[in-house]
Amino acid sequence: MNDFTYHVPTKFVFGRGSVDEVGDELSALGHTCALVVYGQGSVVRTGTLDRVLTSLDRTGVRHAQLGGVRPNPEVGLVRDGVAAARADEADVVLAVGGGSVIDSAKAIAMGAATGRDPWEFASTGTRPDKTLPVATVLTLAASGSETSNSCVLTNEETKEKRGITSETNRPRISFLDPENTYTVSKFQTGCGIVDIMMHTLERYLTPEGGESDLTDRIAEGLLIAVRDAGRRAIADPRDYEARATLMWAGSVSHNDYTGCGRKRLFPVHKLEHELSAFRDEIAHGAGLSVLFPAWAEHEMPYDYPRFAQFANRVLGVEMDFEHPERTAREGIRTLRRFFEEIGMPTHLSQLGIKPENYEKLAANTVRTVNGPVKSYSPLDEKAIIEIYRLAE
């Protein structure tokens, strides 16, 4: 097990009706004015936004609003948010929505506190030394942004999508009511299932972990629970226990708990961000479900036993001790079938990505990360194109 520091300061208020406690909790934390950020209208239609505003009004927390965040959130709207937060002297940025809304709130918070353009952090790799506190009311179990240290932004002018990773990004408080996710479509539920699994798998399938039995078992337990709850939530969107499992798993999966003692590289995420930057209608989870099995096929020869362990313990594939490569391959086939069963794409053509796009996408990926993508083997442009071909 590698050395690590684990510090997750986010307070979670989990369960039915937690959304009605937003005002009390923010007020108890000393906040008096919130900038409420939301997306394209789902929270208006479901009544979640109204409940949040009512709770703020009841407890005397002033508020301004910024709606309109799009999936794969753009820095243009974030800049409007920075201006609004400063004009209203907001002392907390409250996100009501999924990962795109939360990431916008995080970027607004860092821009408002530092006076710098948030894209500067994304493009230069510098980190903010301070930020406004962020609170979240989560409506979609997927990104883990409600507790993670990252924030992913798209520059709509340059078509770049980049992450800002900083401990200052972790929200102060997150309200998780599984009932708020009943209205999430089957497709977005599927995207969330894939993303949650990937946040743990990208910590589990990494060359720099050494032995980590406890962390492995925690990761494997999460993956099994998410697979089973995922099937139930797709079959019955109002299955409370399934939605609750997905929601809590989404947070735990991306706040480093399932990767303690292992180094995180996240190569598949790096490949995916380039796809959703290229075509912003590609949902993050859909891009991952296409790329992960292909990446795994490409990289498993570097560590067949670990891929076989995943196949055996998580997916129930019988272990072939003499030929672990067979177990490993069967595991990835099984996972791909699971993604298809929950309605996720597994081919680049389903995302509208064509072979003539490969060279540009691979070049963009390498440029964004300043060199080959770190993985079991360094993924240069040629290797990335090989992965695209496995995902065709």
Where along the sequence are the contacts to ligand NZQ (CB under 6 A)? Answer: 39-43, 46, 71-72, 97-101, 103, 139-140, 142-145, 148, 150-152, 180-181, 183-184, 188, 191, 195, 254, 269, 284-285
- Judged by CB under 5 A, which stretch of 79-87, 167-175, 193-201, 320-328 contacts Zn ion? 193-201
Shortest distance, position 137 Cβ to ligand NZQ, whole Å = 10
Residue 73 or 324: the one with the smaller Cβ distance to ligand NZQ is: 73
Shortest distance, position 30 Cβ to ligand NZQ, whole Å = 26
- Judged by CB under 5 A, which stretch of 191-199, 243-251, 260-268, 351-359 contacts Zn ion? 191-199
- In 98-149, at which residue ranges do the beta strands (DSSP E only) sit? 134-138
101 binds, among Zn ion, ligand NZQ, none (CB under 5 to 8 A by kind): ligand NZQ
Pairs from 285-288 (Cβ < 8 Å, separation ≥ 24) = 285/142, 285/188, 285/190, 285/191, 285/192, 285/193, 285/194, 285/195, 285/198, 285/344, 286/187, 286/191, 286/194, 286/344, 286/345, 286/351, 287/351, 288/194, 288/195, 288/198
* Greatest Cα-to-Cα distance within the chain, rounded to the nearest angstrom: 67
- Judged by CB under 5 A, which stretch of 19-27, 106-114, 145-153, 188-196 contacts Zn ion? 188-196
- Distance (Å, whole) CA 131 – CA 204: 31
- Distance (Å, whole) CA 286 – CA 299: 20
Shortest distance, position 68 Cβ to ligand NZQ, whole Å = 8
- Judged by CB under 5 A, which stretch of 187-195, 329-337, 345-353, 361-369 contacts Zn ion? 187-195
Shortest distance, position 164 Cβ to Zn ion, whole Å = 15
Residue 276, token pair as written in the block = 């959703």
Residue 202 binds to Zn ion (criterion: CB under 5 A): no
Q: How far is CA 166 from the centre of its chain?
A: 15
Backbone angles phi, psi at 137, to 5 degrees: -115, 105
Residue 209 or 250: the one with the smaller Cβ distance to Zn ion is: 250
Residue 220, token pair as written in the block = 């494997």
Judged by CB under 5 A, the residue of 195, 216, 274, 299 near Zn ion is 195
Shortest distance, position 35 Cβ to ligand NZQ, whole Å = 17
Residue in 129, 146, 128 with CA at minimum distance from that of residue 137: 146
Shortest distance, position 317 Cβ to ligand NZQ, whole Å = 27
**Residue type present at position 234:** I
71 binds, among Zn ion, ligand NZQ, none (CB under 5 to 8 A by kind): ligand NZQ
Residue 72 or 131: the one with the smaller Cβ distance to ligand NZQ is: 72
Q: What is the DSSP string of 289-319?
A: HHHHHHHHHHHGGG-HHHHHHHHHHHH-PPP
- Judged by CB under 5 A, which stretch of 61-69, 125-133, 190-198, 342-350 contacts Zn ion? 190-198
17 binds, among Zn ion, ligand NZQ, none (CB under 5 to 8 A by kind): none
Shortest distance, position 152 Cβ to ligand NZQ, whole Å = 4
- Distance (Å, whole) CA 252 – CA 155: 29
Cβ atoms of 42 and 76 closer than 8 Å: no
Shortest distance, position 267 Cβ to Zn ion, whole Å = 12
Q: Given the rule CB under 5 A, which residues bind Zn ion?
A: 195
